[in-house]
Chains A and B, each alone.
Chain A
Amino acid sequence: DAGITQSPRHKVTETGTPVTLRCHQTENHRYMYWYRQDPGHGLRLIHYSYGVKDTDKGEVSDGYSVSRSKTEDFLLTLESATSSQTSVYFCAISDGHTNTEAFFGQGTRLTVV
């Protein structure tokens, strides 16, 4: 299995509070992604990174920010959590060359109450 660790695995937070999810990889892959999974929608891309300090928005980026200060870490921040951000969040990595597929972490289940 690809070395991807997401933390925390579960979190319950209150509306309006900031939340940070962490993704850590040991594969030295260039590309990292944050997706959210909701019933009936599959997985939707929130933000992605193509290198240290290089990030860009995905299709559902409103209310989220990211940072990547090191190759191995990609942080997703909900600045002020809302109930609509209750979801399962997945981090994925890809080297974009010989392995064109993405490898996924185990997910973080976030509940905003």
Chain B
Amino acid sequence: AQSVTQLGSHVSVSEGALVLLRCNYSSSVPPYLFWYVQYPNQGLQLLLKYTTGATLVKGINGFEAEFKKSETSFHLTKPSAHMSDAAEYFCAVSDRGSSYKLIFGSGTRLLVRP
């Protein structure tokens, strides 16, 4: 069965500092991987996705993630945090063999200190 683990329910960084949000997955088939962001009282917005091809994927708002098969990881990074990045971030793996259902991690809340 597929699963996703996000290390750290809360991550706090200073404005301008590197953002690193960790995600590890388990999957019996080559995965589709996603990062979503959720701002307060809103739905989920796609940040980026990995399906096939280049393992370093770039998303919106300066975020990127690297698919590392050997480590079963898909960590999210941003070189310089902005106050507007404060939100909750979810990593997800797609069950593409069965209706593309998404399996989510428990989420990481990013706090950005001035």
Determine how close the nearest CB of chain B comes to the CB of A33; give it in whole angstroms: 7
Determine how close the nearest CB of chain A comes to the CB of B109; give it in whole angstroms: 10
Give the contact-size bracket for chain A.
Answer: 20 to 34
Q: Which of A41, A48, A104, A105 contacts B99, CB < 8 Å? A: A48
Secondary structure type dominating chain B contacts = strand
A96 nearest CB neighbor, chain B only: B100
Query: Are B104 and A90 in contact, CB atoms less than 8 angstroms apart?
Result: no
Q: Which of B41, B51, B100, B107 contacts A102, CB < 8 Å? A: B100
A84-113 vs B, CB cutoff 8 Å, 1 = contact: the mask equals 000000101010100011111111000000
Which chain B residues numbered 20 to 49 have a C-beta less than 8 Å away from chain A?
A: 32, 34, 36, 41-46, 49
Known: A42-B90, A43-B90, A106-B43. A31 touches B99 (CB 8 A): yes
Q: Which of B36, B44, B94, B106 contacts A41, CB < 8 Å? A: B106
A95 nearest CB neighbor, chain B only: B100
Residues from chain B with a CB closer than 8 A to the CB of A41 are 106
- B113 on the interface (CB 8 Å rule)? no
Determine how close the nearest CB of chain A comes to the CB of B25; give it in whole angstroms: 13
Secondary structure type dominating chain A contacts = strand
Cα A94 to Cα B99 in complex, Å, equals 9
Q: Which of A42, A43, A100, A104 contacts B51, CB < 8 Å? A: A100
Residues from chain B with a CB closer than 8 A to the CB of A105 are 43
Residues from chain B with a CB closer than 8 A to the CB of A106 are 42-43
Determine how close the nearest CB of chain B comes to the CB of A90; give it in whole angstroms: 6
Residues from chain A with a CB closer than 8 A to the CB of B34 are 101
- B87 on the interface (CB 8 Å rule)? no
Query: Are A42 and B105 in contact, CB atoms less than 8 angstroms apart?
Result: yes
Query: Are B43 and A42 in contact, CB atoms less than 8 angstroms apart?
Result: no
Pull 11 A–B residue pairs with CB atoms less than 8 Å apart, ordered by A.
A40-B106, A42-B105, A45-B101, A96-B99, A96-B100, A100-B51, A100-B94, A100-B100, A101-B34, A107-B42, A107-B43
